Structure 1
Amino acid sequence: MTDQPRRTQAQRRAATIAKLVEATIEAIAEVGYHNASLGEISRRAGVSKGGIFRHFDSRTDLVVAAAEEVGRRHMRAFDNIRARENADRPLDLAHILHRARNQIRQETNTVWFELLVAARTEAELRARLAPVARALIDDVERVAIAALTPAVPADVARLLATSVVHMFDGEAIFRSTYPRPELEDTRIEYVARAFQQLTGEGRVDSSS
């Protein structure tokens, strides 16, 4: 049996950081930002508190690293929205909206909701998250432009992307206390039709 090659120090460091980031994401998603203490993260990652501070200067640094990773995962999923089965067929805007909503409802995305609410009253967290949030929204708009043009102009695609993100973010948060599933699909149909009328583009197909 061949011995497995020993990992380098850099590889061990990267693996530990990945475990800490994953534990932070899981903790925030499951118990909330304020309950995701260093002790909770340490327990989940199997890394001592001292081990955490060998890689991150503060809890905020670790939380921001987790937010960046959530953003990367979010965008890998959103990038798939650009794929179309047949580019010669009319763009199915309602289908794209369904896919976007499903992605926004993923449990991992609740980490963003937790952090954005906490950032409202924590100045340091707000300042650190601002460029991360800006980069994520910029990426979402980029994907929307790639997916929707030339059926709709780029500026309208950008408007649609940010409007949809804010709408579905609010829907995802509110549905935990007041779910209204009977309105959800109808809402998507009306939004698709409204943007079709706004752009005047007959190619946009709002059927699901």
Structure 2
Amino acid sequence: MSDRRTQAERRTKSIGQLIDATIDAIADVGYHRTSLNEICSRAGISRGGLFRHFDSRLDLVVAAAEEVGRRHAARFSALREAGAIVDAADAVRFARDEIRDRINTVWFELLVAARTEPELRERLAPVAEALLSELEVLGLQIADQYRVDPALARLVGTSLIHMFDGEAIFRATYPRPDLEQDRMDTLISIAGKLPRQPRT
């Protein structure tokens, strides 16, 4: 029993190392340059070891995308439980910070690649849907707390995500910090003025 548990722990550790290495590689060198050799070198695991846990590079990439989604959702939940996200303005700041985070580069790389790679697009679609659905649920919990209409909160939340995605991509090539700050100030002001529903 103890030996089986040790094997399971080793397996979990190896999978974690491979996923972390994939995330780091995509963030550092891009999706197309993230080869199996690159991943294995970063993880300190042989190709044979990799294939004991994943059937293909695509399987590993999808697992990395799922992990990025889990980390985003877990961070949102942890901050909210700690009282760091208490209103719409905090949620707006969180969304922008997370989208600008280095780890989110993985999503940008994969979404662009998926546009022209049907198999990646097919595998990534449910992962993206699950991530956005989970973030919507978390956002709607804040909306309910402040009596914001759920449909309006969902529209505003998804619009902010797409806006910040575009901002994050462009700022690497054409940063506009003054405009970005003005945008944030305006969005926070608007978020504080969203119409509230009466308590029933």
State TM-score, norm by structure 2.
0.88
- Find the partner of 2:55 among 54, 57, 78: 57
Q: Name the CA distance, whole Å, in 1 between partners of 2:81 and 2:143.
A: 11
The percent identity for this pair of structures is: 55
The equivalent residue for 2:177 is 181
Alpha-carbon contact 2:31-2:109 (below 8 Å) kept: yes
Cα pair 1:78 1:103 within 8 Å, conserved: no
Question: Are the equivalent residues in 1 in contact too, given 2:36–2:47 (CA < 8 A)?
Answer: yes
Aligned AA (1:157)? A
- The 8 Å contact of residues 136 and 157 in structure 2, kept in 1 or not, is answered as yes
Normalised to the residue count of structure 1, the TM-score between the two structures is 0.85
Distance 1:102 1:95 in 2: 11
1:131 and 1:106 map into 2 onto residues whose CA distance is: 22
* 1:71 and 2:66 correspond: no
1:33-67 per-residue CA deviation (whole Å, 9 max, x = no partner) reads 00100000010011111111111110000000000
- Within 1, Cα distance between the matches of 2:84 and 2:135? 22
Structure 2 counterpart of 1:165: 161
Residue 22 in structure 1 maps to residue 20 in structure 2:
yes
The 1:95–1:28 alpha-carbon spacing in structure 2 relative to 1, beyond 3 Å, is same
CA-CA distance at 1:196 after TM superposition: 5.2
Q: Give the alignment's Cα RMSD to 1 decimal.
A: 2.4
- Change in CA separation of 1:85 and 1:28 when aligned onto 2, cut-off 3 Å: closer
Distance 1:33 1:179, change over 3 A: same
AA in 2 matched with 1:74: H
Q: How many residues align?
A: 195
**Structure 2 portions without partners, runs of 5+:** none
2:118 to 113, 118, 123: 123
For each residue in 1:88-138, what CA deviation from the matched residue of structure 2 results, as whole angstroms up to 9, or x when unmatched? xxx643333122211111101110000000000000000000000000000
Moved over 6 A (4+): none
Higher helix content, 1 or 2: 2
One-letter code aligned to 2:133: D
Q: Which runs of 5+ in 1 are unaligned?
A: 203-208
